[in-house]
Structure 1
Amino acid sequence: MASPALFTSLDDAVESLLASIDGPLHVGAPLGIGKPHRLLNALYERVVGDPSRPLHLYTALSLDPPDGSSDLERRFIGPFVSRLYGEDFPRLSYVQAQKRDALPTHIEVEEFYVQSGALMNSRQAQRRYASLNYTHVAKALADRGLNCIVQKVASNDEGTRFSLSSNTDLTFDAIDAIVARGLPRPVLIAEIDPRLPWLDGVPAVDSSFFDMVVAPPAPYPKLFALPRQPVGDIEYAIGFYASTLVRDGGTLQIGIGALSDALCHALVLRHTDNATYRKVLAALDPDIERHPAVLVSGGLDTFAQGLYGCSEMINEGFQHLVQAGVIRRKVVENEALMKRIVDGEASVLDLELLDRDGEFLHGAFYLGSPDFYEWLYRMDDDTRRAIGMRRVSEVNELYGGNETLERLQRQQSRFFNTCMMATALGAAVSDALDDGRVVSGVGGQYNFVAMAHALPDARSVLLLRASRDERGKAASNIRWNYGHATIARHLRDIYVSEYGIADVRGKTDEDCVVAMAAIADARFQRGLIDVAKRSRKLAETFQLPAQWARNSPRNLRERLAPLRGDGTLPDYPLGSDFTEVEQRLVKALGWLKTNAATPVSKALTVFGALFAGKSEDAEAMQRMGLNQPGNWREKLSARLVSYALQNTR
C-alpha cells in the first residue's frame, strides 16, 4: 500500500479530506479518548458555515470536562478542571453546540452511547441517539454508508508504525462490515498523539493502513481523564457482596465508577489480606459464606490461580488487580493448548508456552485517570506483553469468531455491570428513563448478560443502589415496574444491592419477588409486597421476615463505621485526583447538596449556617475563594461552606 499523505496543519488535512470525498461526509470517530478532538474541531469549523458539505458524524462517548451548575460548584470545579485537563484542553465544538441545540441543519451527530446524564436536555442529541448493542455498531455504520474514519494513534519513533492504542473496539470491525457490503473502504485519517500509550499486537498497524496522517505541533493536550469518585458505605457494601461471587481461576468483566472501585478494592483485599476481608464481610453478613449463590458460584478464599480479565473497557480497577496479583491467569490464542490446560493435561512445554505467549487481560478500549494512563505508558515489558487490545466483537461476544477457543478461555466468567433501577420481577433499567430520554446507553451490557446465559458456568451480576434521593425524598431503585427496560426479565440472573445478593436466575416470579424485596430498602419493602399480592404474584399469607427490617442506611453506616475509621475502607481506595483539601470539600459540598434539596431543608440549612461558628478549615475556605467574602452572596456562601465543613469533619 502507498504511504499516507502527511500533514502538520489540521486545516490542510481537512481540505484534503473534503477534496477526497464527493458529497456528504459520513464520518466515524472512536468513543472516548481515541477521538481526535483537534481534527474534529477543525472539520466542524470548516463545514459549519458551508451547507453544501453536509456532515454526519457517528460516534459515542463524546467526553466533555464538567462545568458547575451553581456558584459554589463553579468555585470548586474551575481550578480542578484546569489542573486535571489543562488550560488548553480542546472541548469538542459539536458537543458545545448540542448542549445549546445549536447544531446547523446540515450537521448531524449520532451517538450510540453518551456521557452519563450530560445530554438529557439536548433535543438534538436525544433525537439522534441510536440504541444499539456495542457489537451491532459496525454493521450500522456500514448501513449508513460510512466514508471516513478519524482516529487518534500512538506512533513509533520512526513514524512507520502506529498503534490504535485506546480503541481497537470498532475500527477493524467497521472497515470489514463496510467492505463486505461492497462499499469502498473509507478514508482513514490518523492524528498522532505523543501522550497516547503504545500498545502492541492487534492495535499496531503499518502507517500505510491510513490514507492521511496528521501530526499537529505541540503543545499536546492532556488525555481526557475521568475523576475518581469517593466510595461510600453503600458502594462498599455492594462491592464486597459482589466480590464473594468471583471464583478462583475464573474470568472477570467490570465497568467503571465507584461501585467498580469498591469491587476491585474488595477483590484486592480478599487476595492480599484475607482476614481483614472476612472481617468486612462479617460486619455486613456473618452468614455470607453460606449464601446459596456464594456456595454455587463464588468463594471467599485468596486467588491461588488468579483471574483472567476480559472486559470491553480496561480501567484502573484492572490496574490495581494486576498489581496485586489477582489478574494473572493467562490465556493463549491456541485452541488445542487451551483445551489441554482446561482439562488439566498441559505438559511442561505447554505451561512454558503459556507463560511466554499468554495474556491475562483483554479489552476493546481503555479509559481512566491520569495515574492509569501513566501506568500504561510506563509499565514493564512483561506486563505490556500480557495485555491485549481486541475488537469489541471478540471481547463482547462468543459468536462469529473462534467460539470454541473463547469458551475455553472464559472459564467461570463473572460479568459485573451497574444499573439505575431494577424491577421486582427481574428487569433492569440501565440506560434511559421511562419518558424515553437517554441517560447513557446500552453499550455492552446486554452482550455480557446474554453471554452469561450462553456460557455454562458464567453469571451476570447487576449492581444497584437500593434507594436514591429524589428531590429531597428517598425513593426506591427496586420498583414493581418501570416504563423502560434495558435487560428483560427473562434474562434475570444475579442482583446485588447494599443489603445483599438476590440470585434470581431461573426462579419463578414469586421467588424472584421475594429475593428482590429482601435486598430492597426496608422503607419500601411493604409496598413491593403489597403490589405483588394484588398482582397475584405472591401468596396473601406471605409475611415480611423480621430480619428484612435491618435494611436501612443507618444500620449499614453503624456496621461499617469501625472499618471506615481504621482505614480498611478508605474514601478513595484506588487513589484520588483531588487534593486533600478538595477531598474535604467534596464531602462538604455533597452534604450541602443533600441538605438543601427541598425548600424546607434548604431553609433549615441556611438558618443553621447563619448561627453556626466559623469553620477552622481556613485552607478549604481559601480554596473556594471565600476566605474574604465581599458582597452578601459571598458571605452567605462562605457561611454555608463553613457549616458544611463542620458537619463533615
Structure 2
Amino acid sequence: MSLQSLYEQKRMTPADAVSLIHNGDAIVVPTGVGEPPALLQALSERRHELRNVAVSQILPLRKFAYLDAETRANIRHDAYFFGGATRPGGQSGWVDFVPAYFSELPMLIDRGLTPADVVVSMASPMDEHGYFALSLAPDYTMAAVRKARVILLEVNPNVPFANGDCHVHISQVAGLVESNEELFEVGLPAIGPVQEAIGKYVADLIDDGSTLQIGYGGIPDAVVMQLQHKRDLGIHTEMIGDGILSLIDSGAVTNRKKTFMPGKMVATFALGSRKLYRFLNRNPMLEMHPVDFTNDPYVAARNDKLCAINATLQIDLLGQCGSESLGHTPYSGTGGQVDFVRAANRSNGGKAFIVLPSTAKNDTVSRIAPVLSPGTHVTTSKNDINYVVTEYGVAQLRGKTAKQRAEALIGIAHPDFRAELRESAKRMNLL
C-alpha cells in the first residue's frame, strides 16, 4: 500500500479519532502549542461517556471543556506543570500534579511509572517518506509515542517540519485529523524597570561565546534584550521563543563557539509567534529533541560556558528557591530549572542565574525571606544554587558558608527589608 493510501485510510473526523480512547486510558499531550485543539475539543465533547480517563501535559494553553471539576470522574487532568488553564483547578484541588524534573519525564514514561496509553499531538504534514514532525514539542511526547497503544495526530500545514528527533511514521499512527487554523501565539512578556535592571546585571556576567538556556518570563526576556551586542552566542535550551529569535536576527547567536553540537541550536519545545514557527521549518541551524536529551545535565554541560537563566518566586537566606508554589498552593511546576542549574554548574565556565524581583505585592513583601513560606515546594536546593540576581545586585552563593550567603542575599534585598532580614538572621544564628 502506498504512503498516501495509508494516510487516507487513517484520516478521520475528530469524533471518530477520540472514539479510539477507552475508559481508564492515560492520555499524554505535548507542551504548550503542541496541544491539538480539534482532538481535545472532541475529547471534551465525549467526556460524559468516558470514565477514569487521565490527561497529562506541561503548560496547557487553552481551557478545554474537559477541564471541569464536575466531570473529573470522567476525565481528569494530572498536570506535569500548571499553566493558566489548569492553575485554578490545581489550587482548588480537583487538578492533581506529578512532581518530576522535566528531564526525567521520558524515563518515568519508559519505565511505566507514569502511564501513557494514548498520545494526541499537533503534527506537520507528512513528508515523502511517510514521516510527520512533532516539532512544536517532542519533549516527553516521543517517549509516550514509544509506549502508547494509540497515536492520534492533528495534521496542520502551519506546523513546521523541523530537524532532530521529533518524527513519527505513518505506520505508527492510529488516526489522523486535519486542521488549518493558525497556531497559538504567545507574545513577549511586558518588561519594566525592575526587569531591565535585573537583565543588565545578568547580561554583564555573560561572556561572548557563551551558550544560553533561557526560561520563560519577563526577566529572562529582559536579559535577552540586553545581549544583542554580544558575539558568537550559542543556544541549548528547553524552550525556544521570540526572545532567542531576536538574538539570531541581531547576529548575536551564531552557535560557532559551542563545544557540543557546534553550529546547531537545540530545544525541546517552541512557544512564540508565527515568525518563530516558520523559523523552525527545515532550518539546518536548529534541531528539536526530546527533553531527556536537551535537559539532561550531563548532556547540556558538554557546552562550555553554559549560562542558565531562570526565575523563582521566593528564596530563603540559605539559597533554597521556591519556584513553583505560593506556600503550599501550587502555581507552576518543577520544569527544567534544576536540570539547567545543575548543567551550568557542571559546565566548564558555566553560570546558573536565578532571577527575581526583590519584592511582591506592591513592595509590601520581600521575596528574599529568612525561611521559605510554610509548605513551599523547594525547587532549586541550597546545594545547587549559584548566582541570585535582583534589581539591587548579584549574590554568588556557590561555595559560600551559610553566614556568607545570608549576608550576600540581604545585600540584594529591597532596602526597606534589610534591617528586618538582618534581625531574623541573627535570631537564626546566621549572622
Q: Same fold judged by TM-score > 0.5?
A: yes
Residue 159 of structure 1 deviates from its aligned partner by 8.7
Whether 1:35 aligns to 2:7 is: no
Which secondary structure does the structure 1 equivalent of 2:409 belong to? helix
Q: Which residue of 1 aligns with 2:408?
A: 515
3-state secondary structure, aligned to 1:93:
coil
User: Which one-letter code corresponds to 2:249 in the other structure?
Assistant: Q
- 1:49 and 2:48 are equivalent in the alignment: yes
1:458 maps to which residue? Answer: 350
1:327 to 238, 241, 253: 253
8 Å CA contact 1:153–1:162 kept in 2: the answer is yes
1:363 corresponds, among 256, 263, 267, to: 267
Q: 2:310 aligns with which of 417, 439, 443?
A: 417
Shift of 1:501: 0.8
1:94-493 equivalences under 5 Å are 94-95=66-67, 97=68, 101-116=69-84, 119-120=87-88, 122=90, 127-141=95-109, 142-156=112-126, 160-176=130-146, 178=147, 185-216=148-179, 220-268=180-228, 271=229, 302-303=230-231, 306-330=232-256, 359-376=263-280, 384-399=283-298, 403=299, 407-408=301-302, 410-434=303-327, 436-469=328-361, 474-482=364-372, 483=374, 484=376, 485-493=378-386
In structure 2, the residue matched to 1:557 is none
C-alpha distance after superposition, 1:332-381 (max 9, x if no partner): 9xxxxx69xxxxxxxxxxxxxx9xxx53310000101344335446xxx7
Q: What CA distance in whole angstroms lies between the structure 2 residues aligned with 1:329 and 1:427?
A: 33
Q: Secondary structure of the residue that 1:197 maps to in structure 2?
A: coil
- 1:362 is matched by which residue type in structure 2? V
The whole-number CA distance in structure 2 between the counterparts of 1:240 and 1:37 is: 39
Equivalent position of 2:429 in the other structure: 536
Q: Give me the whole-angstrom Cα distance separating, in 2, the residues matched to 1:414 and 1:168.
A: 23
Give the whole-Å Cα distance in 1 for the aligned partners of 2:182 and 2:33. 10
Q: Tell me, yes or no, if the aligned pair for 1:173 and 1:393 is still in contact at 8 Å.
A: no
**Residues 308 and 328 in structure 1, CA contact (< 8 A), matched pair in contact too:** yes
Structure-2 change in CA distance of 1:122 and 1:134 (3 Å) = closer
Alignment check: 8 A CA contact 1:109 1:125 kept: no
Q: Secondary structure of 2:395's partner?
A: strand
1:246 aligns to what SS in structure 2? coil
Cα offsets for 1:206-249 (capped at 9, x unmatched): 32232322224xxx333222233321110000011111121222
- Check whether the contact 1:117–1:440 (CA below 8 A) recurs between aligned residues: no
Alignment of 1:13-92 (within 5 A): 13-15=17-19, 17-18=20-21, 23-46=23-46, 48-51=47-50, 53-64=51-62, 91-92=63-64
- Deviation, 1:157, is 6.5
The one-letter amino acid paired with 2:271 is L
Shift in CA distance, 486/116, structure 1 to aligned 2, threshold 3 Å: farther
Q: Relative to 1, partners in 2 of residues 1:259 and 1:14: Cα closer, same or farther, differing over 3 Å?
A: same
Change (3 A) 1:54 1:7: farther
After TM superposition, list the pairs within 5 Å mapping 1:489-638 onto structure 2: 489-538=382-431
Amino acid at match of 1:228: L
CA contact (8 A) 1:126 1:438 kept: no
Query: CA 1:394 to 1:33, structure 2 compared with 1: closer, same or farther past 3 Å?
Result: same
* Alpha-carbon shift at residue 432 of structure 1 (Å): 0.5
- What code does the residue aligned with 2:401 have? T
| Cα distance in 2 for residues equivalent to 1:326 and 1:209 | 40
SS at match of 1:460: strand
3-state DSSP of counterpart to 1:512: helix
- Residues 230, 187 of structure 1: alpha-carbon distance in 2 compared, 3 angstrom cutoff: same
DSSP-derived class of the 1:138 partner: helix
1:422/1:429 contact within 8 Å kept: yes
- What CA deviation, in whole Å up to 9, does each residue of 1:289-334 have, x standing for no partner? xxxxxxxxxxxxx42xx121001000011101111111112489xx
Structure 1 residues 120-171: Cα deviation after superposition (integer angstroms, max 9, x where no partner): 4556656511111112222333224321111110114669331111111112
Superposed displacement of residue 13, structure 1: 1.7
Query: Which residues of structure 1 form unaligned runs of 5+?
Result: 65-90, 179-184, 272-301, 333-337, 340-353, 539-649
Report the alpha carbon displacement of residue 509 of structure 1 after superposing the two structures with TM. Answer: 1.0
Change (3 A) 1:104 1:532: closer
Contact 1:426 1:504 in 2 (8 A): yes
Distance 1:394 1:155 in 2: 25
Bigger Rg over Cα: 1
CA shift in 2, pair 1:125/1:62, >3 Å: farther
Which structure has more helix as a fraction of its residues? 1
CA displacement at 1:492 relative to structure 2: 1.8
Q: SS at 2:293's partner residue?
A: helix
On the 8 A contact 1:494/1:505 being kept in 2, the answer is yes
Unmatched runs of 5 consecutive residues or more in structure 2: none
**1:175-194 CA distances to partner (integer Å, 9 max, x unpaired)?**
45x4xxxxxx5321111012
Kindly indicate whether the alpha-carbon contact (under 8 Å) linking 2:211 and 2:304 is maintained by their aligned counterparts in 1.
yes
- Equivalent AA in structure 2 for residue 150 of structure 1: V
Shift of 1:529: 0.7
Query: What does the per-residue CA deviation read over 1:418-469, in whole Å, with 9 as the maximum and x for residues that have no partner?
Result: 01111122111110022x2110111011111222233342221001000122
Compute the displacement of 1:197 (Å).
2.2
Could you say what secondary structure the match of 1:462 adopts?
strand
Residue identity over aligned pairs, in percent, reads 26
Residue type of the partner of 2:16? D
The offset of 1:199, in angstroms, is 1.4
- Measured in 1, the distance between the counterparts of 2:85 and 2:57 equals 17
Q: 1:206 to 1:443 in 2, by over 3 A?
A: same
2:273 maps to amino acid:
S
Aligned pairs, how many? Answer: 422
- Please report how far the alpha carbon of residue 493 of structure 1 lies from its aligned counterpart in structure 2 after TM superposition: 0.8
Supply the RMSD in Å over aligned alpha carbons.
2.5
Over 3 Å counting, the alpha-carbon distance change for 1:197 and 1:325 in structure 2 is same
Distance in 1 between residues matched to 2:129 and 2:177, nearest whole Å: 11
How far is 1:14 from its partner?
Answer: 2.1
Q: Which amino acid aligns with 1:488?
A: S
Residues 502 and 515 in structure 1, CA contact (< 8 A), matched pair in contact too? yes
Q: Tell me how far apart the structure 1 counterparts of residues 95 and 127 of structure 2 sit (CA, whole Å).
A: 44
Q: Describe the shift of the 1:151–1:206 C-alpha distance in structure 2 as closer, same or farther (beyond 3 A).
A: same
